Amino acid sequence: MQAVKLEWDESLLAKYNISGPRYTSYPTALEFNEDYHLADYLHCLHQLSDDKSLSLYIHIPFCQNICYYCGCNKIITKTRSKAEQYVEYLVKEIKLLAKQLGDNPLRQIHWGGGTPTYLSIEQITQIMSAIREVFDVPDEESTEISIEIDPRAIPIEDIKHLANLGFNRMSMGVQDFNEKVQKAVNRIQSFAMTRDMILEARRYGFKSINIDLIYGLPFQTKKTFEQTLALVTDISPDRISVFNYAHLPHRFKPQRRINADDLPSATEKLSIFQYIITFLQQQGYIYIGMDHFAKPDDELAIAQQQGCLHRNFQGYTTHEEYQLIGVGISSIGSVNGQYHQNVRDIPSYYAALEQDKLPLWRGVAVNQDDLIRKKVIFDLICHFELDIHRFEQANDIQFQQYFANEITMMQPFIEDDLLILTEAKLQVTARGRLLIRNICMLFDAYLNELHSINSFSKVI
């Protein structure tokens, strides 16, 4: 597959800029429900054959300070003892979960939050030891162990300790290096601190280092963001994610501390976005899709070239075949196609574990139609095309017949040159790639049923 090129068409972006899911799952989390019980989850885990590899997500909800743009499920606290107790229960959950599984190898571990590095290196070690005690973790070279780092919340010498524990991938939030912007969102993080942390990580063998940025924050202009991007590319991370800030103060309380008048106008925001795309491609980054860019020799870019890129709750991933299990509050997993999510609050989490129960909140048991649509949506979002013949053979359906309504709905997209449909392929054009969420929405059976699409963020 060729590297993905983008074409910018402002009138089309304006026409299609509605709200839409990010499709880190299908069905999306809005369809998760409490009719999915612990017995369903346990049955699903027991059905898993021993040869299936696992990927473990660990959620650490604590942060020391609030970032005003934040829409995550986190707990702001300076009381460290809260984390001590959480670690104890997390270890208990890991052990309980492992008892439900066979000898499946654990080949991928991802720590997210909140701020995973809110924990001390001793607490992180305690959790990693528990994992190695109850799971079969193959040698460190072949197991991907990644962590989201907040450079403000970790002493630089701990990078070496993380490497010794087997961590070999890292993602770091930056958002913007401009001081005025940082002040307005309450996240002060210098360029030097970020650069030094990344240099240290490289020294200890970390690969696929990612930096997260956000556009659309208060006081950002194209000019200020040019400076931020120049600094970021100077550090030369392997991956860059650039997210669109959605100002939804009615849903996310911290955002009420952002003055809406300080936000860039829609036109300014679009010109920042256009600059991001042009500049990063000029700098040799490949557009992976959605908000993600990677160097050509990074695992994500290689997986996309080889047609084996996949998507899950952490965004794009290289291992479709891994079964995802989650621990910690609000963590989400996916086993045998079904989705499940833990309770979102600490008291319910501790109460379930006190009774030696996995702290499941809700989930969704997918049906055959969900699996078919998921395949279409994930192929389009990862590879911008669907091989119709192969898809028909794998699913024993006639594409034109099965998706007759969707084909009618996609006509305006075809007329606008966003999509090309032939007997052999459904292909997203260079103009359509930035509007991939809209294209995937054509195949989402739930959007018109229960929920308003306004539950999601804008696609651009």
- Contact residues for ligand SF4, defined by CB under 6 A: 63, 66-67, 70, 72, 74, 113-115, 150, 173
Question: Dihedral angle at the C-alpha atoms of 162, 164, 165, 169, nearest 10 degrees?
Answer: 50
Q: Which is nearer to ligand SF4, 74 or 362 (by Cβ)?
A: 74
d(CA 127, CA 135): 12
Of 440, 372, 378, 441, nearest in space to 402 by CA: 372
Q: Which is nearer to ligand SF4, 67 or 106 (by Cβ)?
A: 67
**Strand, helix or coil at 361?**
strand
Nearest-approach distance from CB 220 to ligand SF4, in angstroms: 16
Cis peptide, bond prior to residue 105, ω within 30 of zero:
no
Q: The sheet that has 54-60: what strands, in order across it?
A: 286-289, 292-294, 239-244, 207-215, 169-175, 144-149, 106-113, 54-60, 323-327, 332-335, 338-342, 360-364
Question: Residue holding tokens 């612990």?
Answer: 38
Nearest-approach distance from CB 64 to ligand SF4, in angstroms: 8
Total residue length of the chain: 460
Q: Which is nearer to ligand SF4, 70 or 201 (by Cβ)?
A: 70
Task: Please give the backbone phi and psi of residue 59, each rounded to the nearest 5 degrees, phi first.
Answer: -100, 120
Q: Which is nearer to ligand SF4, 209 or 418 (by Cβ)?
A: 209
Nearest-approach distance from CB 374 to ligand SF4, in angstroms: 28
Radius of gyration, CA atoms only, the chain: 22
User: Cβ of 48: how many Cβ atoms within 10 Å?
Assistant: 17
Nearest-approach distance from CB 213 to ligand SF4, in angstroms: 13
d(CA 389, CA 25): 24
d(CA 13, CA 99): 50
Q: Which is nearer to ligand SF4, 115 or 241 (by Cβ)?
A: 115
- Cα atoms found within 13 Å of the Cα of residue 85, Cβ hemisphere only: 11
Of 366, 315, 372, nearest in space to 338 by CA: 366
d(CA 61, CA 331): 10
Q: Which is nearer to ligand SF4, 151 or 363 (by Cβ)?
A: 151
Tokens of 325: 């299990």
Nearest-approach distance from CB 114 to ligand SF4, in angstroms: 5
| 315-317 and 310-312 beta bridge pairing | antiparallel
Nearest-approach distance from CB 221 to ligand SF4, in angstroms: 22
Q: Which is nearer to ligand SF4, 30 or 72 (by Cβ)?
A: 72
Q: Which is nearer to ligand SF4, 113 or 315 (by Cβ)?
A: 113
Q: Which is nearer to ligand SF4, 118 or 378 (by Cβ)?
A: 118
Nearest-approach distance from CB 6 to ligand SF4, in angstroms: 28
> With left for phi above 0 and alpha for psi between -120 and 50, is residue 396 left, alpha or beta?
left
Whether residue 166 contacts residue 140, with contact meaning beta carbons closer than 8 Å, is answered with yes
Nearest-approach distance from CB 444 to ligand SF4, in angstroms: 28
Q: Which is nearer to ligand SF4, 72 or 445 (by Cβ)?
A: 72
d(CA 265, CA 219): 10
